[in-house]
Structure 1
Amino acid sequence: MTDVRYDRAPGDVPSEEVQAWAPSEALVYSIGLLVALVLTATSFWVANTSMLWPGGVGLGLAVLAIAQMGVHLVFFLHLTSGPDSTNNILALAFGLLIVFVVVVGTIWIVTDLNDNMLMPSSDAMNMRKQP
């Protein structure tokens, strides 16, 4: 067997040496707030400007919304790619899968109901009345 030495267990508070190199929480939250405000202001500008092609406004807003979600996940929820947040990433992926299934399933069911529940056209109704 190999002797593996761990300096700390998962969940332990890092030593003072590691904490000295980490940015403060206030700085991380301030940067996140600043980036979120810039993205929000940019989305308002995209929605109200005539400088963009009208078809590209929706795409621009979608890109800014995804970027906003990324900022919130990283700066405020502290979701990283490190080994400590593997469970959080899996929980997020599962939540996104559930939301995707619910939204796509709802659209599928409503579309199917719409196709099957259409009122017959007036021509079809007139043909049934005539003997």
Structure 2
Amino acid sequence: MTDVRYDRAPGDIPNEEMQARSPSEALVYTIGLLVALILTATSFWVANTSLLWPGGIGLGLAVLAISQMGIHLVFFLHLTSGPDSTNNILALAFGLLIVFVVVVGTMWIVTDLNDNMLMPPSDAMNIRMQR
């Protein structure tokens, strides 16, 4: 019976097994590349087709982008849920938190500026210009 470890990503091979399993590592990278290319081609098709509902194109592209990130994290960066990847997962989560704070904070500030610095109505501008 073989020892199966479920906390490893495809291609995440320990150093002692590296020499014996090098062809499978190339296979894992090839599979990751093919899946990434298929997702990229699908994204271009979704953006340029008229067969889909126009309102769902943005959602479809977002789903394809998130799945593309997942493929890169698992197949190329070997990010797993194992104990060896704890620091990598925490760094990724912290990076996502910083991006979220920057984006939401920017949207909040811009919205507040838009609310507090409204232009006067066009009728008021026309009355001032006629005087």
User: What TM bracket, shorter-length normalisation?
Assistant: 0.7 to 0.9
TM-score by length of 1: 0.77
Give structure 2 stretches of 5+ with no counterpart. 1-13
What are the equivalent positions in structure 2 for 1:62-77 lying under 5 Å apart?
62-77=62-77
The Cα RMSD (Å) is 2.5
Output the amino acid matched with 1:82.
G
Output the amino acid matched with 2:88.
N
Output the amino acid matched with 1:117.
M
In structure 1, the residue matched to 2:83 is 83
Secondary structure in structure 2 of the residue aligned to 1:24:
helix
Structure 1 stretches of 4+ with a deviation exceeding 2 A read: 13-16, 18-25, 122-127
Q: Provide the rounded CA distance (Å) in 2 between the counterparts of 1:47 and 1:19.
A: 43
Output the amino acid matched with 2:99.
V
Q: Provide the rounded CA distance (Å) in 1 between the counterparts of 2:86 and 2:22.
A: 20
Q: Provide the rounded CA distance (Å) in 1 between the counterparts of 2:16 and 2:44.
A: 44
Aligned length: 116
Output the amino acid matched with 2:110.
V
In structure 2, the residue matched to 1:114 is 114
Per the TM alignment, residue 75 of structure 1 is displaced from its structure 2 partner at its CA by 0.7
Per the TM alignment, residue 22 of structure 1 is displaced from its structure 2 partner at its CA by 8.3
Task: Give the % identical residues.
Answer: 85
Q: Is the radius of gyration larger for structure 1 or structure 2?
A: 1
TM-score by length of 2: 0.77
Relative to structure 1, the CA distance from residue 122 to residue 46 in structure 2 (aligned partners, 3 Å threshold; closer, same or farther) is closer
Give structure 1 stretches of 5+ with no counterpart. 1-12
